[in-house]
Structure 1
Amino acid sequence: MPREIAVLDAYVPAIVLLFIAGTAITWVLDRAMAWTGLYRVVWHPSLFRASLLVCVCGVLGLGVYR
């Protein structure tokens, strides 16, 4: 996979697109965890959400850049 992707004749780093996809995936996971009530056992929900975003984007980045 190329490291840059052409979007409207402008090269965009693939990591930016992975971050956008990771944000969407994290949002879906966040809604599912809130619906199931998992946040009742999490100590700091906003810190958990931020770390979930980092983990999802890291997994996506490893899949592309490996």
Structure 2
Amino acid sequence: MSNQLNLYGVFVPALFTWTLIALAVSVPLRRIIAWSGFYRFVWHRPLFDVALYVVLVGAIVLLAKQFPL
């Protein structure tokens, strides 16, 4: 696993890329959760959203380690 990604000659930290991917996944996922009404069962919505984002970043990092480019 490399610490940097080469995007057309620009070196980007891999963690920054993974966090952007997690953000792109979390936005529609939060909308689906809101549409389904699941937030009624959540005590603190912003805390739940941050925890969901952290779990998504962790899952993406784990997948990146399992399937390197």
TM-score range, shorter chain: 0.7 to 0.9
| Counterpart secondary structure, 1:6 | strand
The count of aligned residue pairs is 66
State the 4+ residue runs in structure 1 displaced beyond 6 angstroms: none
TM-score by length of 1: 0.87
| Counterpart secondary structure, 2:20 | helix
Percent identical residues: 32
Q: What is the correspondence of 1:25-40 to structure 2 with a 5 Å cutoff? A: 25-40=25-40
Partner of 1:59: 59
TM-score by length of 2: 0.84
Superposed displacement of residue 6, structure 1:
1.5
Structure 2: stretches of 5+ with no match in the other structure? none
Structure 1: stretches of 5+ with no match in the other structure? none
CA RMSD between the two structures: 1.4
